[in-house]
Copies of this chain bind each other. A is one copy, B any other.
Amino acid sequence: MGPLATHDFYRKVIECTPAADDPQHIPVVMVADTQIPLRIPAWEGRGPSPLPALIKAAQQCVGAGATVLAMPCNTAHFWFEELVAALPRNVQFLHIADETVRCLPQALPQEMSPGMSQARRIALAGTHVTLAMKLYQQAAQRLGMNADWLLPSEDEQALITAVIADVKAGCIDQAVAHFNSAVQALEQRGAEAVILGCTELPVIAQSVASRVRLIDATDCLARACVQACKP
């Protein structure tokens, strides 16, 4: 949905594909329909549902031969089940939060002794909708993973909301400054890691000077896609 987020996802698909020339890369169909009704207003009941447009985009991908689908937009996962239900059963639609939770065991910093079962303190960064619908908490529950979720305070969320708007508007320097402040605040409150639970965030994450681990949901989704496409 966000063009830079989609672009970032595509780069990660390319980079984590072991390939020495074009034919060894995965054929990709991308429908980056920027006219899909906005997800946040729809969720808040202030605008039309994006679901019909999401279904149409997914069907266009399937029509062009896609068998593994992904949607690099966390907020849009609010409509995930309805979207999957509208598609042929033989396509595999990967869920961004499920794939990120699957990455957590390797992605978390390993200071603690292995085998310890204490829940890790993981902060969530995303749109307020992604947080309100508990996208990551429910994925962890589905996959039997225990975490001590650290949710952004109102001030921290205001910073994260600003970062997302900055990236969508192409104001990268401003986005980095805002996100640095947000991550520092979450770190001071004890976060061991921060899940980048909005696909606009990894676009600027490499420029953020953070001591906590930033867990890139876009990267987890891209890796899962490449894995699923293996012959």
A interface, CB within 8 angstroms of B: 1-4, 7, 10-11, 14-15, 17, 19-35, 38, 60, 63-64, 165, 168-170
Contact = CB atoms under 8 A, between A and B. Distances in A.
Contact of A35 (B7, B23, B34, B63): B23
Contacts of A11: 7
Nearest to A20: B169
Nearest to A18: B170
Contacts of A169: 19-21
B14 A7 contact: yes
19 contacts: A14-B170, A19-B169, A19-B170, A20-B168, A21-B168, A22-B34, A22-B38, A24-B34, A25-B34, A26-B34, A27-B32, A27-B33, A28-B30, A28-B32, A29-B29, A29-B32, A29-B60, A30-B32, A64-B64
B170 A15 contact: yes
Q: How many copies does the complex hold?
A: 2
Given A29-B32, A29-B60, A165 B21 contact: yes
A22 B10 contact: no
A25 B10 contact: no
A34 B27 contact: yes
B1 A22 contact: yes
A204 to B, nearest CB: 14
B3 A14 contact: yes
